[in-house]
Amino acid sequence: MSDQGQGRFFAVGIGPGDPELITIKAARVIGEADVVAFHAGVRKQSHARRIASDLIPADVIEEELRYPVTTGTTDHPGGYVGALAAFYDECDDRITAHLEAGRTVVLLAEGDPLFYGSSMYLVDRMKARFATEVVPGIPAFAAATAGLGQPLVRQTDVLTVLAGTLPEPELARRLADTDGAIIMKLGRTFPAVRSALAQAGRLEGAMYVERASMPEERWQPVVDVDPESVPYFSLIVVPGDSRAVPTATRMRAVWDQTASSSAPAVRLGTKPQPSELLVVGLGPGPADWLTPEAAEALATVDHVVGYAPYVNRVPQRAGLQRHASGNTVELDRARFALDLALGGERVAVVSGGDAGVFGMASAVYEAAVDERYAAVPVRVLPGVSAIQAVAARAGAPIGADFAVLSLSDRLKPWPVIERRLRAIAEADLVLGIYNPASRSRRDQVVAAQKLLLEHRSPDTVVIVGRDVGREEESVEVTTLAALDADAIDMKCLLLVGASSTRVTTGGAVWTPRWVE
């Protein structure tokens, strides 16, 4: 028993199933416990207790924490979430009573306590009130890969751990973007997981492991697994070596060569003729705003190149290779795509909104000036632009003459932006402002507001569109004087009205086509 006024709480990882994989520290802590708690499934014996049974002292108090529901239905008024919340409240009460009595409580956790473990919820509750320690354990995927005897990742390979409960398109995308992967939480999700592996081109080489390190352990290629036979205690290992040509490695090699204008073109394809390079506008976000032409093009290419958030919006399918990069390497990205097309690969460079409006189209043409790419035809496929989306949500603010300007000074000096802002203000044009602010660039929107107020009425209508077309969408109608510059960021697009821009009694904004 603890010699302090309150007991200590331990969440102890006991490994994947083989009792010999329990750590020395975990064994010691269990042997010194006053109370041993463990979870158990509905109408099932506790796997955790079975694994650690030989270490549990004979005189210890045992607390079985039996789930009221796992994947089945429940008559709890709060549904599944409510039933589980009530269950953890009860567990909290039972364990708290022991800790307040000064007892040392050990909660057994299969694998590692903080790796997809139920024990983490009680750790969250206890650590604020009692002395709490987590004893790590060997996770199931470590035992699985050891059993396979195959390296999971090497050197600079990226390992991604995924839940099989993710939506199938999201799972496929993430599998395509990584070198090695572990997929947990199978059971009923297995058919969708196998489909996602196929879409990502990672099915071949993926291995299924069931009950890793236990006497009944079995493993086989995922393609050979009967979906009806998959239990919860199973996972999938996708070794990094199964990826024939790691996208990240190939992209780095191409970028290293294209960084020098004197470097020879990299020809990755085997087709004798260069392919047409497509530059595709994806629209502001919703799938409904992707044009049929763009969707058809994306369904035919073998490579998608672009800024990571835009590449992530392209559905994964078998054979599609994704090449995502950061937000300030447009020319490198364009050269990489041009090199692929030069080698005969079918490639699409993607942009949000319209690729020709502050998008990748201009960067591709800038890179294509190099005579190495003279044989690569480039075709731009238009998309719904952000300014169109915001304007449509607000009404018809760009129904007459308007101008569009980016406040980013990364590619042009601020005095140029100021001069253009002043000219637009003096011309009394509706103004669409892209890239108004970022985390490191807060002064420009304030300066722009001040400059515009020198030429426009404080009552000039301003529309602030944020994440238009997405779940977080908001559209605010305010005035130039009342605009809160501190609340503006890169997710916003601003529309500053002309003197003729009006607001209806219902709140819609429109600009007459005629000028008085």
* pLDDT tens profile 460-487: 999 999 999 888 999 999 999 999 999 9
Is 251 in the same domain as 348?
yes
Given 175, 208, 242, which residue is the final one in a domain?
A: 242
38 DSSP β-pair partners: 64
Mean pLDDT value of segment 340-363 = 95
Quick one: pLDDT at residue 180? Answer: 94
Verify that 340 and 426 share a domain, yes or no.
no
- Same domain assignment for residues 202 and 304: no
Q: Could you tell me if residue 516 is inside a domain? A: no
Q: Within this chain, do residues 173 and 89 fall inside the same structural domain, yes or no?
A: no
Is residue 375 domain-shared with residue 392, that is, in the same domain?
no
Instruction: Give me the number of domains the chain comprises.
Output: 4
Q: Which residues of 82-99 are buried (b: 16+ CB within 10 A; e: fewer)?
A: ebbeebeeebeeebbebb
374 and 270 fall within a common domain: yes
**Residues 327 and 353 placed together within one structural domain of the fold:** yes
Domain CATH code at residue 409: 3.30.950.10
Over pLDDT 90: what percentage of the chain? 70
Cβ atoms within 10 Å, residue 291 = 16
Report the C-alpha gap between 453 and 481 in whole angstroms.
7
Of residues 285, 501, 506, 494, the one with CA closest to residue 396: 501
DSSP H/E element including 194: helix 190-199
Instruction: Indicate if the pLDDT at residue 233 is higher than 90.
Output: no
How does strand 180-184 pair with strand 131-135? unpaired
The enclosing domain of 262 has a CATH number of 3.40.1010.10
Residue 63 token pair? 């607390």
- Summarize pLDDT for 246-298 with one digit per residue, the tens: 443 444 444 444 444 333 344 444 445 999 999 999 999 888 999 999 999 99
Alpha helices in 287-397 (DSSP H): 292-298, 308-311, 330-342, 360-368, 386-394
Q: Is 183 exposed, middle or buried (0-12, 13-18, 19+ CB in 10 A)?
A: buried
**Where would I find the beta strands (DSSP E) of 212-364?**
218-221, 234-238, 277-281, 303-307, 321-325, 347-351
**Measured distance CA(431)–CA(391) in Å, rounded:** 11
**pLDDT for position 250:** 40
pLDDT per position as a tens digit, 482-508: 999 999 988 999 999 999 999 999 999
Domain membership of residue 186 as a residue range: 142-242
In a domain, 223, yes or no: yes
428 assigned to some structural domain: yes
Same domain flag for 374 and 407: no
Any idea which of 70-84, 173-187, 382-396, 397-411 has the lowest mean pLDDT? 70-84
d(CA 39, CA 91): 10
Could you give the CA distance from residue 201 to residue 238 in angstroms, rounded to a whole number? 11
Asked which of 121, 138, 155 is the last residue of a domain, the reply is 138
Is position 208 within any domain?
yes
Both 157 and 274 in one domain: the answer is: no
Would you say residue 410 lies in a domain?
Answer: yes
Nearest to 200 by CA among 220, 164, 174: 174
On the question of pLDDT at 351 being above 50, the answer is yes
Model pLDDT, residue 251: 43
> Above 80 in pLDDT, residue 396?
yes
**pLDDT at residue 68, as a whole number:** 85
Amino acid at 452: L
Question: Distance from CA of residue 507 to its chain's centroid?
Answer: 35
The residue among 88, 105, 138 that closes a domain is 138
Q: Does some domain include residue 484?
A: yes
Residues contacting residue 246 through CB under 8 Å, at least 6 positions apart: 157, 179, 240
Task: Work out the angle between the directed axes of helices 247-258 and 330-342 (0-180°, nearest 10).
Answer: 100
**Residue 176: predicted pLDDT:** 85
CB 320 within 8 A of CB 306: no
Residue pair 30/52 in contact by the 8 Å Cβ criterion: yes
Q: What is the mean pLDDT of the chain?
A: 89
Backbone angles phi, psi at 291, to 5 degrees: -70, 150
Positive or negative CA dihedral for 498, 502, 508, 514?
A: negative
CA distance 460 to 509: 12
Q: What is the predicted pLDDT for the residue at 261?
A: 37
**Domain membership flag for residue 515:** no
Residue 244's pLDDT is 56
Residue 192 falls inside a structural domain: yes
Q: Are residues 273 and 214 in the same domain?
A: no
Tell whether 424 and 364 lie within a shared domain: no
For residues 424 and 256, the model is more confident at 424
Looking at the structure, do residues 273 and 367 belong to the same domain, yes or no?
A: yes
